[in-house]
Amino acid sequence: MLWRMQWHFLASAPDDGAMNMARDEALMRWTARTGQAVFRVYGWSAPTLSLGRNQRARGCYNLEAAGARGIGIVRRPTGGRALLHHREITYSATLPAADAAAASAAYALINDILLDALGRLGAPAAMATAGKALPPGLRPCFDAPSTHEIAIGDRKLVGSAQWRHEGALLQHGSILVDDDQHWIGELLLTDSEPPTPAATLRDALGRAPTLEETAAVIREALEARIGEVAAFADEAALEASTVDLARDYRDDAWTWRR
């Protein structure tokens, strides 16, 4: 059972796109070796456009405009559509998952934890009951919620994606504090309709919660659902693996693979 395994919690300082994606993959590999789960909360040291694993992106974005705005670009190991990491808080969870059914159960568990945490902050979030999963494309991730995504009303608040590999699952996602996702359309080389405004924590709460505050309520929600949660103690080995994997996420052959 997902709540009976050993869980760890890790709050990471903001980092760049390659390091953040590499650290999530390093945690996934650690989970595959140990059979233990990790919930991580983190931020980004600069605005970063992240591309879905299989999203078409080569020749689609104005790289000069992105550079002028100080926006980095990274391709995620997980699927889904492009999103901008800037005024938001990112979470990741890595846990054993042998098959698609286990991945589905993990998705439901993680959403329960996030909904509890958002409720502790005072945000009236709920699971979207309408919509459908959208295929990879150039419309931004937060354009509209799919069924079972976390939303406030009919506006998406949390965008999540998964990757399952060698018996382990990575699920990570973005919780918007402010809505700057319209920047994505402004970086496209082709005209794009403005996205539907997304839900934000600022709108829901009337203020912007900090990374530390949000990490604390997520840990509280995790402990309420799972029980005892340990601090992640293998950080030296994690960082060595992260630095090694970050080379792949900085490689244009990966970023612009399609």
Q: What is the pLDDT of residues 141-172, one digit of tens each?
A: 666 667 778 999 888 899 999 999 999 999 99
Cα within 13 Å of Cα(243), Cβ side: 5
Check whether 72 has a pLDDT greater than 80: yes
* pLDDT of 107: 94
Instruction: Report d(CA 82, CA 138) in Å as an integer.
Output: 7
Instruction: Place domain 7-255 in its CATH homologous superfamily.
Output: Bira Bifunctional Protein; Domain 2 (3.30.930.10)
Place of tokens 């530390």: 212
Tell me what the pLDDT averaged over the chain comes to: 91
**Coil, strand or helix at 38:** strand
* pLDDT of 5: 82
In degrees and rounded to multiples of 5, residue 81 shows phi and psi of: -105, 175
Give the residue-averaged pLDDT of 37-44: 98
Check whether 64 has a pLDDT greater than 90: yes
Q: From residue 15, how far is each of 20, 85, 87, 244 by CA, in Å?
A: 6, 11, 14, 15
Instruction: Report d(CA 95, CA 205) in Å as an integer.
Output: 31
Longest dimension (CA), the chain: 50
* pLDDT of 88: 96
* pLDDT of 197: 86
141 is catalytic: yes
- Helix, strand, coil % over all residues of the chain, rounded to 5: 35, 25, 40
- CA angle (201, 204, 209) in 5-degree steps: 40
* pTM, to two decimals: 0.93
CA nearest to 189, candidates 58, 74, 88, 91: 58
Q: Name every residue whose Cβ is closer than 8 Å to that of residue 236 and which is 6 or more positions away in sequence.
A: none
Instruction: Report d(CA 16, CA 145) in Å as an integer.
Output: 27
Q: Read off the amino acid at residue 56.
A: R
Instruction: Report d(CA 57, CA 75) in Å as an integer.
Output: 10
219-251 in b/e burial notation, b at 16+ Cβ within 10 A? bebbeebbeebeebeeeeebeebbeebbebbbe
Check whether 129 has a pLDDT greater than 70: yes
Give the residue-averaged pLDDT of 121-149: 73
Which one from 41, 57, 141, 150 is the annotated catalytic residue? 141
Instruction: Report d(CA 193, CA 204) in Å as an integer.
Output: 25
What token pair was written down for 160? 């999540």
Give the residue-averaged pLDDT of 31-43: 97
Torsion of CA 81, 175, 41, 53, to 10 degrees: 0
With cut-offs at 50, 70 and 90, classify the pLDDT of residue 1: low
Place of tokens 């919930």: 39
For the chain, which residues make up each domain, given as ranges? 7-255
With cut-offs at 50, 70 and 90, classify the pLDDT of residue 137: low
